Chains A and B, each alone.
Chain A
Amino acid sequence: MEDVTRPDVASGVHDVAQPVVQRSFLARAEPYLYLLPAVIVFTAFMAVPVAGTMAISLTDWDGIALSGLEFVGLDNYVDAFTSDEFWRALWHNIVLIPFFVLLPAVLGLLPAVLVHQLKLRGARFFQAGLFLPYIMPGVLIGVVWRWILNPVFGPVNSTLKRLGFESPPSWLGDFTWALPTVGLIGAWAAYGFCYVLFVAGIQKIPNDLYEAARLDGAGFWEELKVVTLPGLRREMAVVFSVNLILALRAFDVIRATTNGGPGDETQVLALYMINSAFNANRVGYGTAIAVVLAVLTLLLSVLVLRLFRDNDD
């Protein structure tokens, strides 16, 4: 038997035929095997939780015991869309968009352009300083700004009083100023990211373009309009989509400063979601808000990316 099989294995015919089947199977499976670790991680930490979230949003789960859970269909979504609180929270998110998206872009662009065009010395020092707020945790930013804006002993109101303003607003507790104030704090937290992207982007713009523009007699503003801004389109796309997501999921800074107050003037969707799920023990309802927020974020980021891509073409 051994004598028979041995030559079989060694013989050319078998040698070619059998491994071909094996190799082609392996060859076909190989890319999937490389994907496997990522697929496992993705399934465990993305697909399953997302599916679970969607499933919970169709129930009345109170977050206490799974045994009492009942399927309620789309009731939670109907509740959300017919609730004033939901729309007010969404409106606050929309008001925050200019603060979280446009303002940081402008605040980041200005120093980036200045550093590049004026060839400022010590630029790296400024870069580190300007980037600092972005890497600070939101809760810490909240604590710091609560102190800065403290109406009794904070530096902002002390300065304003010295400048002659008799009763400056209490900012975070003021019904008119609270939302713009958390918006400004959000802008302060986000502009460092824009700045770093823009600095990197500007350095990629060929110097020839600037030289050509100058030969044509372009000044600072023309250069900005004709060379810098068009050259930064890709960075703009990233900045706008990332900051838009930040505006929609705004939570930590607001939680740490106003916690949605005064009244519900700064209550945003993420805060409303957390409060519904954990303070009111309506996890099913809170989860439905989370799903709406996720879909909204997805749609808007696709829109922003498409906007910039179309221009590119």
Chain B
Amino acid sequence: MSMHRRSLLKRTGAVAGAAAFGPAILGAPHLAAAQDETTIEVWDTFNADPRKAIVDDLGASFAAENEGVTVEHRGWTLEELQDTLPRVVDSDQGPDVAQVNNGESLMGPMVRAGQLVDITDYVEEYGWAEGLPDGLLARNMYSTDGTAFGSGQLWGVSVEAEIVGLFYNKDIVGEAGVELPTTLAGLEESFQALLDAGQTPLVFGNLDKWPAIHLFGDIHGTMATREFLDGIIYRTGEQSFEDQSIIDAAARLQDWVSAGYLLDGFDGIGADDAAALFEAGSGAMLLQGSWQAGTVGSNLGESSGFFLMPPVEEGGTVLHVGGVGIPHAITVNAEDPDLSAALIDKLVSEESFNAFVDAGLLPAGEIPADKIVADTVSGDLYTAWNTSLANDTLGHYLDWAAPGFYDVITGELQKLLGLQVTPEEFAANLQEFYAASFE
């Protein structure tokens, strides 16, 4: 097992200071306890293939490597897992290892309730932080008392990563004579050219409410500073939603609506239906997360590509919506936390990393060059991801800002997109709820 870790370190170590933890940590200090009959129960959201199969295989291989250990893997839907996990742990039952959603949606409350094991030492011992910029690690951090998000101790480690960008149909874009834009204004010119050519520039469906978080977040990412975005998400109390960047991004989004860049009837169509339209060859671009790459690639094949939201000025920085996948944590009911940590190490091993890449998924770490196939949608995605990782330009999901904020920001975004509120009212409504969440 340590072999996997060592080779993973070798690969990712080039990105950030590997020297700090070095290969000296790579003995297998935690496996002594594995001699007795032990069952490690893992609850996560990997409830369908290819993810389910990957984790099942990793569990089986972990059990084979550690005598007397059985791994029981149970995949849930995110909603079910969210609702069940804290209640079960509170009853002194449940899994040893579980995916715990970032921020105030679950990790914060569970840390405050003393339901999770502080894994900071394991992270150092196993070198899980190697190759990941601080900006990504912060998302799995809370202070010991669970009051400060984004700093303090580590409570989980993410197997996967996510980044939102623009999938595009090369045939449609090519026919309209549109070049890939390098600025936000250039993107709008492309939209206009596509519109003039009788195409739907941006396929978008917001009946499910959440897609607007990504669209608005990515536009906002072109205008926001790291200080503002981290401050608002990590709740430093110094930032306000009535920031000029929020108002400007809201105005820009309303301009897009008025100009007709978004799919006609977007407010009445679901995210999956919108994606299906794009994948069926209807519409030039689709703003979606990396998780969509598999179905886009298999439906549009060589006609599909991916690029990230371009900056306001050429060469500028964009904080792209995205981040780490839901992290795996160790619950306080874990029979043997050391053994659970060893299993997590398996989940982020090179074996696991390669299995995720081979399935067209995006694991949390730099994708090696030999895995990147040029001129494919996954190749475009991996290249974009590596760039963003190296530059630490991963932004946030704005709904993380406060408990219950998801319902507020999705509702307000629907009003914004429906031209029911002004950008200033939109910002004020968000701020009203955000400010109240500190009381």
Contact = CB atoms under 8 A, between A and B. Distances in A.
B407 A280 contact: yes
A64 B115 contact: yes
A281 to B, nearest CB: 5
A251 to B, nearest CB: 15
Interface residues of A, number: 38
Interface stretch (A115-123, A198-206, A256-264): A256-264
Interface stretch (B304-312, B341-349, B384-392, B413-421): B413-421
Interface residues of B, number: 37
A146 B267 CA distance: 12
Contacts of B90: 64-67
B268 A149 contact: yes
B148 interface: no
A276 B209 contact: no
A262 B208 contact: no
B184 interface: no
B109 to A, nearest CB: 4
Given A151-B269, A173-B269, A175-B420, A65 B113 contact: yes
Contacts of A153: 277
B207 A258 contact: yes
A264 B263 contact: no
Interface of B: 82-83, 86-87, 90, 104, 109-110, 112-115, 206-209, 263-270, 273, 277, 403-404, 406-407, 410-412, 414-415, 418, 420
Interface of A: 62-68, 146, 149-153, 157, 167, 169-175, 257-264, 267, 275-276, 278-282
Given A146-B270, A172-B268, A64 B207 contact: no
Contact of B113 (A67, A169, A257): A67
B11 to A, nearest CB: 38
B412 A263 contact: yes
B62 to A, nearest CB: 29
B113 A152 contact: no
6 tightest Cβ-Cβ pairs between the two chains A and B: A280-B404, A151-B265, A170-B268, A173-B267, A65-B113, A173-B268
A86 B208 CA distance: 22
A276 B90 CA distance: 20
A171 B418 contact: no
Nearest to B268: A170
Contacts of A63: 86-87
Given A64-B86, A259-B209, A281-B104, 4 more contacts: A64-B112, A150-B268, A170-B268, A263-B418
A281 B109 contact: yes
Contacts of B404: 275-276, 279-282
Nearest to A150: B269
B277 A146 contact: no
A157 B265 contact: yes
B412 A279 contact: no
Contacts of A259: 208-209
B412 A173 contact: no
A152 B205 CA distance: 10
B149 to A, nearest CB: 14
A287 to B, nearest CB: 14
Given A63-B87, A65-B90, A261-B209, A281 B403 contact: yes
A152 B414 contact: no
Contact of A279 (B208, B406, B420): B406
B206 A173 contact: yes
23 contacts: A64-B90, A64-B110, A65-B113, A65-B115, A146-B270, A150-B273, A151-B264, A151-B269, A157-B265, A170-B267, A170-B269, A172-B268, A173-B418, A175-B415, A259-B208, A261-B207, A262-B411, A263-B411, A263-B420, A280-B404, A280-B407, A281-B404, A282-B403
B228 to A, nearest CB: 24
A89 to B, nearest CB: 12
Contacts of A279: 404, 406-407
B269 A65 contact: no
A262 B82 contact: no
Contacts of B86: 63-65
B263 to A, nearest CB: 7
A275 B268 contact: no
A172 B207 CA distance: 8
A152 B407 CA distance: 26
B161 to A, nearest CB: 24
Give the most central of B115, B207, B403, B412: most A CB within 10 Å.
B207
B261 to A, nearest CB: 16
Contact of A262 (B112, B270, B415): B415
B115 A171 contact: no
A90 to B, nearest CB: 17
Contacts of A64: 86-87, 90, 109-110, 112-113, 115
Contacts of A258: 207
Contacts of B418: 173, 175, 262-263
A173 to B, nearest CB: 3
